[in-house]
Chains A and B, each alone.
Chain A
Amino acid sequence: MALEVTNLVGGYSQIPVLKNISFNVKDGELVGLIGLNGAGKSTTINHIIGLLTPFSGTIKINGMTINDDVKSYKQQIAYIPESPIVYKELTLKEHLEMTMMAYNLNKEESWKRANRLLKMFRLENKLDWFPDNFSKGMRQKVMITCAFLTDANLFIIDEPFLGLDPLAVNDLLSLIAERKEKGASILMSTHVLDTAQRYCDRFVLVHDGVVRTEATLADLRKQFPSAGNSLNDIYLDLAKQDKSNEETRAGEK
């Protein structure tokens, strides 16, 4: 099991945003983390990458928690944040060097890999530029390049499609497929449901800090027979149900 989240309760301050989150990502699997704004997707991700400490519950990557060995826990993760984060003092080339240095990667091999990625994203002539001055899409490409430079087992990708040009979206999806074949797992949060529907093996639907359901598309169709065929329809139906449930509950009070 690449990633296993069990009974995770957590958040930023005293008040838990995540009330009870449990799901898993198997080896070579692409799991979509789906939910409305504020549902707890990014908070879940922040817990997995070790930025936040769980109030209770455990997160295991290949059977290891962060407290077992911080270094080897983190060595397994590559992260692509929702809004690109770059060092304003470093050039593109230096960003790549930073990644190679921090993950202790073999220089020669990594540069081969890097050159391929840079060419793919048409960044190869911008090595000496500051990514801080790039457009959002281009900075996102820098993030993708850095993440796919590593040998991570688990890719955590937070809403990767916004701001990327169609060509880059396509390239990213093929990069993901490539790594999947090699046995890496991917957890991807997104709002672009029709893309998610086509590429994800399974979905974790988060609502209001709890996992509403965790299933493949076929299972989801069975669970919500009246909703329609696409992930989009199913999701809208589910969100509507939750809303009316909340309203009746509020009415009862």
Chain B
Amino acid sequence: MSKVFSKRLSSHLTEMIRYLRLVFNDYFVLALLFLIGGLGYYYSIGLRKLSIGIWWAPIVTAIVMIVTLQLGRLATLLEDPDYVFLLPKESEMVQYFRSSFRYSCILGLSVQVLIWFILIPFVQRTSHLDTSEIFFMLITMIVLKLAWLELDLARKYRLKYEIFANRLIFRFIIPAIIVILGVYLNYLVAMIFSVIYFIIIKLLIGNLSGLVVNWRLAISDENSRMHSVYSFFNLFTDVPSLQGTVKRRKYLDVILQRTKLIPENTYLYLYSHGILRDNEMSGLFVRLTVLGVLFLIFIKGLVMPVFLAALFIYLIGFQLLPFYFHFSDNVFIHIYPITGKFQMKNFQRIILWFLTITGILFAITIIFVNYNNPATIAAIIIVETAEIWLFTFVYLPRRISKGIMNR
């Protein structure tokens, strides 16, 4: 069974590398280097302002440690059909899961070490810690992560004590208690507690090989893990295996029902329902808009706010573009007695609507924050109007006709 896993792992890694290559293209690597450099610089300057005994420092340390603990789930690489095909091998699944555990440890523990490394100067500036305690801190983080992964593995089985499948208790509450002990008392105690915690878990869960695999949960866990991986890649490139989930959102019917039911509006009807109900699309729109507004609340001036608003509008529009092809695989689109010429017009109308909503929200925020700066107010109105018009009526049709050729 461990061979099955290593086979899957190699094809999984090939796929990941393919995506990583797309994500880390030359421009992005350059931007990332600047970003890391910039952040490192700000971090080092920020550190100088800190001193021992700042009240919020231990809280930040604890939160960082607990959040870090959540990074890196158990990668079982299970697939939907496994429920049928691996069922006869159920008793041997332990070996499979153990192999996946070892692989997940590499990733999960590397992240712990990396964050620990970044945390060292912060912890040293804000508290009296000697070298040994810093190492105890690392060991605490590693043991807690191991326990976290053990529990993630145990979840895949129907356990004697079902409480171990509870994620809130074992992923947050207990680790938080141990981390807080470390932060406020000392890391030797935290380390001892984490080791005891690990041993207790191992003993109480016991031997998994005799237990029944909870296939439905195991597969849905893995699907949700892969979904987050793909969603990340989807920010940079088009991921075909990513299928968004759909929400009814009845409260939006008021808006949706405004579409007049005439043949020319067929695509308008499809696109409006599609974007508003598709979690991927609507989520992206809402996230980027909210993020943009948050940025703009804190930034005053002339160039920066206008630049940021323009950037976010471009980003939103760009991410919505692939939705043009969302329905192309549906045979009925090709069967309906409608001509394709309204597809572009309908799509432009939708994009215009969405970008205008964002544009108005951004403009209101900027006007509110820079109420005493008429230059900024004038600039944002002119720049946004021009950008949205150019994006919708010049950039979008070109980009899409390029996309049609590539399909």
Contact = CB atoms under 8 A, between A and B. Distances in A.
Interface of A: 49-51, 70-75, 77, 79, 81, 85, 87-91, 94, 97-98, 100-104, 107, 130, 132
Interface in B236-272: 246, 248, 261-263, 265-266, 269-270
A210 to B, nearest CB: 26
Given A89-B274, A130-B246, A104 B331 contact: no
B349 to A, nearest CB: 16
Given A90-B273, A94-B273, A51 B246 contact: no
Nearest to A143: B332
B337 A103 contact: yes
Contacts of B248: 91, 130
Given A89-B273, A101-B262, 5 more contacts: A72-B337, A74-B335, A87-B274, A89-B270, A102-B266
Contacts of A73: 337
A100 B277 contact: no
B339 A70 contact: yes
A101 B334 contact: no
B277 A104 contact: no
Contacts of A75: 337
Interface string B173-217: 000000000000000000000000000000000000000000000
B39 interface: no
Nearest to B276: A89
Contacts of B330: 85, 87
Contact of B270 (A71, A87, A91): A87
Contacts of A71: 337-339
Contacts of B278: 89
Given A89-B278, A101-B263, A81 B269 contact: no
A79 B335 contact: yes
5 contacts: A71-B338, A87-B270, A90-B270, A97-B269, A98-B266
Contacts of B318: none
A102 B338 contact: yes
Contacts of A79: 331-332, 335
A110 to B, nearest CB: 10
Nearest to B333: A102
B337 A102 contact: yes
A128 to B, nearest CB: 8
B152 to A, nearest CB: 29
Contacts of A103: 263, 336-337
Interface residues of B, number: 23
B325 interface: no
B327 interface: yes
Contacts of B274: 87, 89
Interface in B255-310: 261-263, 265-266, 269-270, 273-274, 277-278
Contacts of A132: 246
A58 to B, nearest CB: 20
A85 B265 contact: no
B337 A51 contact: no
The 6 closest A-B pairs by CB, nearest first: A102-B336, A75-B337, A74-B337, A101-B261, A89-B277, A89-B274
A112 to B, nearest CB: 16
B327 A51 contact: no
B331 A51 contact: yes
A50 B334 contact: yes
A101 B337 contact: no
B335 A101 contact: no
Most buried by A among B261, B277, B332, B334: B332
Interface string B350-387: 00000000000000000000000000000000000000
Contact of A101 (B269, B277, B327): B269
Contacts of B338: 71, 102
A87 B327 contact: yes
Contacts of B269: 94, 97-98, 101
A101 to B, nearest CB: 5
Contacts of B336: 74, 102-103
Nearest to B278: A89
B361 to A, nearest CB: 24
A74 B336 CA distance: 6
B263 A104 contact: yes
Contacts of A49: 334-335
A72 B338 CA distance: 9
Contact of A104 (B262, B327, B335): B262
A104 B261 CA distance: 8
A89 to B, nearest CB: 5
Contacts of B335: 49-51, 74, 77, 79
Nearest to B338: A102
Contacts of A77: 335
Nearest to A98: B269
B340 to A, nearest CB: 9
A103 B263 CA distance: 7
